[in-house]
Structure 1
Amino acid sequence: MDRRTFVRQAVSGLGLAIIPSSTLRAAGAPVALPPTVLAPLGRLPVPVPVPATPGPAAQLDKLPFARLLDRARAAMDTHGRAFQLRDRVALADFNAASREHRFHIVDLISGQTSSYLVAHGRGSDPSHSGFLQSFSNQPNSLATSEGTYRTGAIYYGKHGVSMRLDGLDYSNNNAEARAIVVHGADYVSESHVSSWGKAGRSEGCFAVAPHLISQVIGLLGPGRMIYAGKV
């Protein structure tokens, strides 16, 4: 019998075996053993600590957009009842230029991310610099609004398959009235960026490459969060 089996059987005699060891490790819960168990354990060699393998949370904290993700997590707690699905979140990181893959869909369970080009509104970048200059929630501003969005119904419109959005913050609560949605557009394709050095501009919508819109909508679906902002 190896040491690990011996320890597990010793602990199970106290009824602790009903809690899987993997659960205890995941929770980081300290287990206080009575003297009757500590006595035989004390005669065993002191185990060598094994470095913990970084989990998904540790991996996400190292991402370049980790601070924006922190804001999104805080927003999810603030609007907790609005989101039935909390496994995945999308981040529109408008610190980055439009030529960069700045729309990140993050799996909060596995730690995996998928990143895409995304447009910002013409009103947020009047000179078409390729960088978002300002946000606006005003009707007819043609600008991008910052804040927390909930993904809604999927439909087929003038841009093809699209997804409606509901703005949950004061900074974006006109999203539905402004028809701010997720849709595909040729001006956000890789070929457009390659030719012009930047993506085109939307009227405030989250426009992505048309050949990727089905993938983006498939990963998000209704009931998840999109968080847009600059840190």
Structure 2
Amino acid sequence: MKFAACFLVPLTLIPIARLNAATAEAPPTVSVSCPSRSAVLAARASLANSERSIPLQLLSDAMDSLEKHGCRPGPRAEVMVVDFALPSGTPRSWLVNVVTGAGQDVPFIVAHGQGSDPDQKGRAVFFGNIHDSQMSSLGAFVGGRDAKTDAHPDAVVLYGLDGPLNDQARSRFIYLHSTFNESPDYVSDEYIEGNGHKAGRSCGCFVVQRDAFIRRLKPAVSNGGFIYAGYSGSIDTHHRFYPGPRRECGTNIDRRSASTNRLRREIRDRPIGVAGSEEGKRSKRGSDEAPGGAP
């Protein structure tokens, strides 16, 4: 797999706002029970509708990641697992109980970022950890506090746990949220049906349908919950990377302006699959995408 990286403009253009409390916050502790693999596999064997089930290798990867990042005994046992290999109009996230195995065949809709799908084809093909790229990130995330912003009246702060894959999630203002203020409601069933069976695109946030967010996902993820974003297929490294429009996910996040003195980067066009890793700092990056999508 090839990688791409960013070259920074002179230091004087880096906004002081980036050096605020949002970027200095330590991730909360993961507070989810350790998985019982035997129970999870037994529950999987009993499923009647395998077409809606989470891919087994993806589930195994999620449990490995949970153990790596510090699971612990306690009442919370559900983790959110996302398969970005599936098209955006297909339910592709699951809230799986890693103790009992429940939830493996009850998927939810989740949107991916504009920069991950620059041609608006409904499939995420690029993933990164770069400011202003509007890309989704892969890897493990821990949920933080609930947040109320101008753009999103109800959201969960997310912290990336997997180094160069997603450790800029907090400073990029990546959230789990729904479409409370957006029009159109770009993750609704009606929108997806009328948009060629494609959900709208986010600015890199995990955007889910309202009922799923309120009833299931927000309680499971906030304050120590766990998200694993994976990709069950092969990433096509022959595509080109085009960053999204230069606006942050959620304007005026936490009542601070995220649009002042943007952190700008010159980006060269290169074929990549994952952008922003340490290995990728040896190559240059791609050009601009026309505006589109929603936070």
Per the normalisation by structure 1, the TM-score is: 0.71
Residue 82 to residue 180, structure 1, CA distance change in 2 (3 Å) = farther
**Aligned 1:21-60 pairs, distance under 5 A:** 55-60=39-44
In structure 2, what is the equivalent of residue 225 of structure 1? 226
Match 1:156 to one of 140, 148, 162: 148
| Greater radius of gyration (CA) | 1
Q: Deviations over 1:183-223 (max 9, x none)?
A: 11221111111111110000000001234321221233321
Q: What is the match of residue 50 of structure 1?
A: none
Q: Is the 8 A contact 1:161 1:213 kept in 2?
A: no
Q: Do residues 194 (structure 1) and 187 (structure 2) align? A: no
Partner of 2:125: 133
Match of 1:165 in 2: 158
User: Is the 1:90–1:104 Cα contact (8 Å) retained in structure 2?
Assistant: yes
User: Match of 1:214, SS?
Assistant: helix
Contiguous gaps of at least 5 residues in structure 2: 1-37, 48-52, 180-184, 233-295
Instruction: Show CA shifts across 1:130-162 (max 9, x none).
Output: 000111111111000000000111122222211
The answer (yes or no) to whether the contact 2:39–2:99 under 8 Å persists in 1 is no
Provide the aligned length of Structure 1 versus Structure 2: 179
Once the two structures are superposed, residues 55-79 of structure 1 have per-residue CA deviations (whole angstroms, 9 ceiling, x without a partner) of: 4432236744221111111111211
Identity %: 32
Match runs of 1:16-165 below 5 Å? 55-60=39-44, 63-80=53-70, 87-113=77-103, 114-157=106-149, 158-165=151-158
Q: Which amino acid aligns with 2:204?
A: G
TM superposition shift of 1:83: 9.4
Specify the code of the residue in structure 1 equivalent to 2:170. Answer: E
Match of 1:177 among 165, 171, 196: 171
| Amino acid in the other structure paired with 1:229 | G
The 2-side partners of 1:163 and 1:212 are apart by 14
Identify the residue that residue 43 of structure 1 maps to in structure 2.
Answer: none
RMSD: 2.3
In 1: Cα distance, 2:187 partner to 2:73 partner: 28
CA contact (8 A) 2:157 2:222 kept: no
Question: Mean Cα displacement is larger for which, 216-225 or 180-189?
Answer: 216-225
Query: Which letter maps to 1:125?
Result: D
- Cα distance in structure 2, aligned partners of 1:221 and 1:59: 26
Higher relative contact order (CA 8 A, sep 6+): 2
1:200-211 equivalences under 5 Å are 200-211=200-211
Secondary structure at 1:166 match in 2: strand
